[in-house]
A = this chain, B = another copy of it.
Amino acid sequence: MASNFFSIQELAQETGISKDTLRIWERRYGFPLPQRGQHNERAYPAEQLEQLRLIKQLMDSGIRPGKLATLNLMQLQELAQEQQTAPPDDLAPLLELVARGQQRELRLQLESLLLQQGVKTFLIETVAPLNHAVGEAWFAGRIGVLDEHLFAEQLSGLLQGTLSGMRPDSETSRALLTTLPGEQHGIGLLMAACMLARGGVEPVLPGVQLPLEEIVRGATTQRCSIVGISCSSYMNRRTIATQLVRLRKLLPVSIELWVGGSGTNGLTALPRSIRIFSNLEQIGAALQQPDRFLGD
């Protein structure tokens, strides 16, 4: 039984850490230190992939890789446990359904909750925390990638359905929602889109990974007064910041730039004309302020 080894390319793809970075971590910290294949290529065992995922997660909470790379697996797990925020009790049954891959039952329960709570409450008190909890459970190894993906698909379908029932038919303000090139996670966009639609703004959703030039072109041709970008912590923070600043420069001043998602946490020194949202409520609040068209 050939236990599985990963090439450096595969490891980079799975973790979102570039090949260059993987090599230099090995040089500097001695981790991840792979075996070598027949032709001297790096061959990473599955455990190192797991450990890297853990490290990536801890980095998102601000700990530096230099510290993390010197710790062993157990110490990392301790650290991770400290950080774990237990998911609210009422989400436990839903999480259970995700873990068991019972998509249909999950869908039904979510639909029922949506009706019960209404869009806003559903988004803020159910969808957002559940999505977060699923992400954490995946990191902790309590649910598999497959179940996480299936959950995301169910949620997308549900939110898209909700959206199509909410589209205002008259001429209203519009918002173009997308992610930066390289960012593949689009669930945040759908959540934001629902909040916006609820506030009378019509979302335009061209999917993920739109090149900056196309964002600008799209916002103009689609007559959007807002561009919304969702950033996960998958991408490197520096890249995110650079791209956002560049986008702000390309975009007409009359168009607002709104940014949200876990990838925006550690961002410092962005121009004030880029508006950062750290949760969904803030979107709702922003839509109610009449002064929201005063730029920087």
- Asked if A182 meets B13 with Cβ closer than 8 Å, knowing A144-B217, A214-B144, A221-B101, the reply is yes
A41 close to B (CB within 8 Å)? no
Q: A10 to chain B: which residues have CB within 8 Å?
A: 181
Q: Which of B4, B206, B211 contacts A14 (CB under 8 A)? A: B211
Kindly supply a per-residue 1/0 record for chain A positions 150-169, scoring 1 wherever the CB is within 8 Å of any chain B CB and 0 otherwise.
10110001001000100000
**Do the beta carbons of A206 and B157 come within 8 Å of each other?**
no
| Interface set, chain A 181-233, CB cutoff 8 A to B | 181-182, 184, 204-207, 209-211, 213-215, 217-218, 221-222
The interface residues of chain B lying within 8 Å CB-to-CB of A164 are 157
Q: Are B206 and A146 in contact (CB under 8 A)?
A: yes
Chain B hits for A157, CB < 8 A: 160, 164
Majority secondary structure of chain A interface residues (helix, strand, loop or mixed): helix
Nearest Cβ in chain B — how far from A149, in angstroms? 4
In the complex, what residues of B have CB within 8 A of residue A182's CB? Answer: 13
CB of A145 closer than 8 Å to a CB of B: yes
Chain B residues within 8 Å of A211, by CB: 14, 145
A145 in complex: contacting residue of B160, B210, B221, CB < 8 Å: B210
Interface positions of A from 35 to 79, Cβ below 8 Å from B: none
> With A145-B214, A214-B146, A217-B146 in contact, do A153 and B101 touch (Cβ < 8 Å)?
no
A163 vs chain B, min Cβ distance (A): 10
Query: Quick check: A149 and B213 within 8 Å, CB to CB?
Result: no
Contact of A210 among B13, B149, B206 (CB under 8 A): B149
Tell me the nearest residue of chain B to A100, going by C-beta: B221
Beyond A157-B164, A205-B153, A221-B101, is A146–B210 a contact (Cβ under 8 Å)?
yes
Name the residue on B nearest A243 (C-beta).
B10
B14 touches A153 (CB 8 A): no
Query: Known contacts A157-B164, A164-B157, A214-B144: does B207 contact A149 (CB below 8 Å)?
Result: yes
Instruction: Give chain B residues whose Cβ lies under 8 Å from the Cβ of A217.
Output: 144, 146
Please indicate the chain B residues that have their CB under 8 angstroms from the CB of A4 in the complex: 213
Chain B's closest residue to A164 (CB) is: B157
CA distance A84 to B240 in the complex (A): 38
- A sample of 23 cross-chain residue pairs with beta-carbon separation below 8 angstroms, ordered by A number, consists of A10-B181, A13-B181, A13-B182, A14-B181, A101-B221, A101-B222, A144-B214, A145-B210, A145-B211, A145-B214, A146-B210, A146-B218, A146-B221, A149-B207, A149-B210, A150-B204, A150-B207, A152-B207, A153-B205, A153-B207, A157-B160, A157-B164, A184-B209
Add 15 more A-B contacts to A101-B222, A146-B221 (CB < 8 A).
A4-B213, A13-B182, A101-B221, A144-B217, A144-B218, A145-B211, A146-B210, A146-B215, A146-B218, A149-B207, A149-B210, A150-B204, A153-B205, A153-B206, A184-B184
